[in-house]
Amino acid sequence: MAEGTRDRLVAAGVAIVDEQGFGEVGVRSVASRVGVSHGAPRRYFATRDALLAAIAAEGVADLDAVLRPTIAVGVGAAAVAYWRFANERPGMFELIFRHDVLDGAGGRLRETTGRWFAALVDEIGDPEQALTCWSAVHGLCVLAATQVPDAVGATVDESVVWRVAERLAR
């Protein structure tokens, strides 16, 4: 029963992040969505950051499920999978990379992101080049989310992300 409540709280938090962004996640909003007392989440999560870490762990698992298989296909395919996730779930994308919020809150999220980087290094062969590639693709995702390309008359779409990643992977 207790594990079911914890899972429901996390699922409610994931839904809030996907619908409204992680800034809207709070103990009260999650409890209200689940239909439990406002104090109930504190039995499972000592702090809001601990709740956010559990929510982020779900997002990381979701991104991992789409990203990891594509890395074997190629850097361009992985970049497009990353891009799609960022565009389809912008609130979650922002949360899972907010290490300033999540550090120390549990969830061991860096283990998974570390595996992504290791796989990218294996594919590209050079850690610095892999970091450059990831940075560029991540930057394109962030810029697109904030509509910067539109403001400067640039177009960023999947084909651009693919080409940038493939170019930087060489």
Is residue 91 exposed (0-12), middle (13-18) or buried (19+ Cβ within 10 Å)?
buried
pLDDT tens digits for range 99-114: 777 776 666 777 778 8
pLDDT of residue 105: 60
Cα separation, 136 vs 145, in Å, equals 14
- Write out the two tokens for 128: 């610095």
pLDDT tens digits for range 65-74: 999 899 889 9
pLDDT of residue 1: 39
Domains and CATH numbers, the chain: 2-169 (1.10.357.10)
Residues of the chain with pLDDT > 90, as a percent, come to 75
Backbone angles phi, psi at 57, to 5 degrees: -60, -35
pLDDT tens digits for range 33-47: 999 999 999 999 998
- Write out the two tokens for 59: 């997002």
Cα separation, 26 vs 28, in Å, equals 5
- Token look-up 């990831």 returns 134
pLDDT tens digits for range 128-154: 999 999 999 999 999 999 999 888 999
Per-residue exposure over 30-40, b if at least 16 CB sit within 10 Å of its own CB, e if not = bbeebebeeeb
Residue 3: pLDDT over 70 = no
Cα separation, 75 vs 5, in Å, equals 39
The secondary structure of 86-121 as a DSSP string is: HHH-HHHHHHHT-HHHHTTSSS-HHHHHHHHHHHHH
Cα separation, 128 vs 136, in Å, equals 12
Contacts with 151 (C-beta within 8 Å, 6 or more apart), sequence order: none
Average pLDDT of the chain?
91
